[in-house]
């Protein structure tokens, strides 16, 4: 694991904040019934591109989207109308 962190630090992309992939975000939305029906994968990607979720920059086009976990939960709380 130290090698992974070392690599991420050299790229300037790891700052200790937990990350979620879109598949995990889909699972959490369904599990907690944040939005019903769950947004499509294309909608989630569009939200990443529009900045609705704070993401790690992608180095190449095929790299999976990675969303900061706190950014996702902030959005989820706003969607549910929970005061932060």
| Better pLDDT: 83 or 2 | 83
pLDDT on residue 51: 95
Which residue's structure tokens are 């369904």? 30
**C-alpha span between 3 and 49 (Å, rounded):** 29
pTM: 0.77
Report, in this order, helix, strand and coil percent for the chain, each rounded to 5: 50, 10, 40
DSSP-assigned beta bridge partners for residue 21: 66
Calculate the alpha carbon distances from 56 to 12, 68, 77 in Å.
10, 7, 21
Would you place residue 5 in the very low, low, confident or very high pLDDT band (cuts 50, 70, 90)?
A: very low
């Amino acid at each position: 694991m130290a090698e992974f962190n070392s690599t991420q630090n050299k790229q300037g992309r790891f700052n200790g904040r937990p990350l979620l992939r879109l598949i995990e975000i889909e699972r959490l939305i369904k599990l907690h019934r944040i939005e019903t029906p769950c947004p499509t994968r294309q909608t989630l990607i569009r939200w990443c591109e529009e900045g609705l979720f704070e993401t790690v920059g992608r180095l190449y086009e095929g790299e999976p989207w990675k969303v900061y976990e706190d950014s996702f939960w902030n959005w989820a709380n706003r969607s549910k109308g929970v005061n932060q």
